[in-house]
Amino acid sequence: KALSSVQKTMTAKGLTLIVFDCYRPARAVADMGQWTREAGPPDPQWYPTVRRGDLIAKGYVGGLSSHSRGSTVDLAIAEPGKKGTTHPACGAPDGDTLDFGTGFDCFDPMSETSHRPLSAKAAANRKMLLAAMHAAGFRNYAREWWHFTLAKEPFPKQRFDFPVTAP
């Protein structure tokens, strides 16, 4: 319901939400944790300045993820029917979204919600997303402009592990 209210706000502005990630089974989180322990150098697309083995310690990957509680979502805003901004230097090639200064899942200080310097357009888009999500009862994870959790989570201490399968 809370996310639906944000979508209604965006629709009134001629925009739409793009959801990248929502519920994540605890087993997937454990697999991601294991992947980080395999270590490795920085990756120019996803984590250009951080070694893979440091992703959990630096807060870019959760050892226990709020996504497994079913009340966290990773998202951005897009203008329907318009090609957006692609950020090939860092993060997912999210070419359909507005400019947020980095792509989704860019594990770098540039992705911090209040990071500066940012272009005026990217800063305004981050501010718009933050305001809309806060108005609907979400709080932002300050290290990732795209990551929001319901402030009043229904299951704040629970982690779910049911698999998600295609029909």
Catalytically annotated residues: 144
* Helix/strand/coil (H/E/C) assignment for every residue in the chain: CHHHHHHHHHHHCCCEEEEEECCCCHHHHHHHHHHHHCCCCCECCCECCCCHHHCCCCCCCCCCCHHHHCCEEEEEEECCCCCCCCCCCCCCCCCCCCCCCCCCCCCCHHHCCCCCCCCHHHHHHHHHHHHHHHHCCEEECCCCCCEEEECCCCCCCCCCCCCCCCC
